Amino acid sequence: MSVAGRRVVLGVSGGIAAYKAVGVCRRLVDAGAHVAPVLTPNATRFIGAATFSAVASEPALTSLYDSGEPSPHTRLGQSADLVVIAPATARVISAYATGNSEGLLVATLLATRAPVLLCPAMHTEMWEHPAVQDNLEVLRRRGVHVLDPEVGQLAGGDVGAGRLPEPAAIVAAAQAVLAPQDLKGVRVLVSAGGTREKIDAVRVISNRSSGKQGHAIAEDAAARGASVTLVTTTDRAVSRGIERIAVASAADMQAAVLAHRDASDVIVMAAAVADFRPAAPAEGKIKKDAGVPQIVLEPTEDILRGLGEAKRPGQILVGFAAETDDVASNALGKLQRKNLDLIVANDVGAPGVGFDHDTNAVTLIGTGGPILDIPLSSKHDVARALLDAVVALLKDVRSTS
């Protein structure tokens, strides 16, 4: 769901990551949102309110008493479609959880019935402290959305969990919070990442798939109300409520997918499954002083074809086609051969497309041919467009059943 035309209160609390909130504000405005910034007094120690006033939709506020309004927190809270707190410090999280409304930001949080997205950022020791985690658990139970911090470089040169995600990820999470609940009650199975096929005890055959597109589909499906199972080869974190199954090889993935196939209403096979594996992998490490080994390959399981052959009436099956030439033609052929309802085709040789990138450019192809060309966009935008098409297919199936 787009933030275009939505009123977003952007809360900024006092942490070094406050500088990233300017990027969040700019991206929200560029996406068509009306952004009202609210800074805590401590936030202004790191970045000025004037900066936000210059890029937001209305002047930034820092106090209950500096605007001349009798009740700024109720105006902000009642008019908001979404409240985003980035960064959310341990102090603000605690005040929100306990109802301490001393400042404008927490008073606004208490005065709103709009969805709230918290983006915590702090040092690792603070993030992992039981008091912080208990407060977050309280807020989650109340329906607050939490975008967990990333692992990376922190203030003072430390490295660990607690880093505020980049503005693009925060805006994508905000859009997901506003997503329609049009997949509520739908069971969605998603595969992600590149499989790894054993050569010996230390070496594998794999590919460059990062799993970002599959994870984006899983996250957006969950945001739209689906019950999601994600079979992934990556170690990427997932939101609460998504069932995550870790696998490595094509055989592992096949076993996990087949275990959940019959219970799934929608299956999206976004993983890059290896086509071949060593027929006789070595148990130990192959030593190079023994000469160049002769590795005989055998085909792996064609998971997608098997799913197409066993597809039950009303079940939606989506495949991916990562191509380098004749993209649409090859993808359509794959869709027909494997009995798919929809295929996502992309030219992985194009700049910024496919493996390793945060962006993608794809064509959605159905049984009647191309449905939609999606130009270079974030992988969350691609996920949303794909799920829009899935929702349309589900409506068609239900209307004819």
CATH number at residue 73: 3.40.50.1950
Check whether residue 17 and residue 161 sit in a common domain: yes
pTM for the whole structure:
0.74
What local confidence, expressed as pLDDT, does residue 1 receive?
A: 58
Catalytic residues: 207
Domain boundary among the residues 133, 152, 177 is at 177
Structure tokens at 300: 């792996």
Strands 316-323 and 266-269, bridge-based pairing:
parallel
What's the DSSP call for residue 9?
E
Check whether residue 172 and residue 200 sit in a common domain: no
Distances (CA, A) of 196 to 67, 136, 192, 238, 398: 58, 36, 12, 21, 38
According to DSSP, the residues that pair with 232 across neighbouring strands are 192, 246
What local confidence, expressed as pLDDT, does residue 228 receive?
A: 98
Do the domain assignments include residue 1?
A: no
Residue 123 one-letter amino acid: H
Do the domain assignments include residue 258?
A: yes
> Do residues 37 and 60 make contact, with C-beta atoms less than 8 angstroms apart?
yes
Distance, in Å, from the CA atom of 237 to the CA atom of 168, rounded to the nearest integer, reads 17
Check whether residue 109 and residue 204 sit in a common domain: no
What local confidence, expressed as pLDDT, does residue 338 receive?
A: 97
Helix%, strand%, coil% for the chain, nearest 5? 35, 25, 40
Check whether residue 318 and residue 210 sit in a common domain: yes
Check whether residue 200 and residue 298 sit in a common domain: yes
Q: Provide the edge-to-edge strand list for the sheet that holds 7-12.
A: 34-39, 7-12, 82-88, 116-120, 145-146
Check whether residue 298 and residue 377 sit in a common domain: yes
Check whether residue 98 and residue 240 sit in a common domain: no
Check whether residue 166 and residue 195 sit in a common domain: no
What local confidence, expressed as pLDDT, does residue 330 receive?
A: 94
Do the domain assignments include residue 288?
A: yes
Check whether residue 314 and residue 281 sit in a common domain: yes
Strands 82-88 and 7-12, bridge-based pairing:
parallel
Domain boundary among the residues 144, 177, 210 is at 177
CATH of the domain at 242: 3.40.50.10300
Do the domain assignments include residue 224?
A: yes
Check whether residue 139 and residue 61 sit in a common domain: yes
Do the domain assignments include residue 115?
A: yes
Domain count, the chain: 2
Do the domain assignments include residue 182?
A: no
Domain boundary among the residues 177, 208, 232 is at 177
Note down the domain range covering 261.
187-400
Check whether residue 199 and residue 342 sit in a common domain: yes
Do the domain assignments include residue 2?
A: no
Q: What is the mean pLDDT of each run of 10 residues along the chain (401 residues)?
A: 88 96 97 96 97 97 90 97 98 97 96 97 96 96 93 86 92 88 96 96 92 93 94 89 95 98 98 96 92 94 97 96 90 96 92 82 93 90 93 89 64
Do the domain assignments include residue 73?
A: yes
Check whether residue 346 and residue 383 sit in a common domain: yes
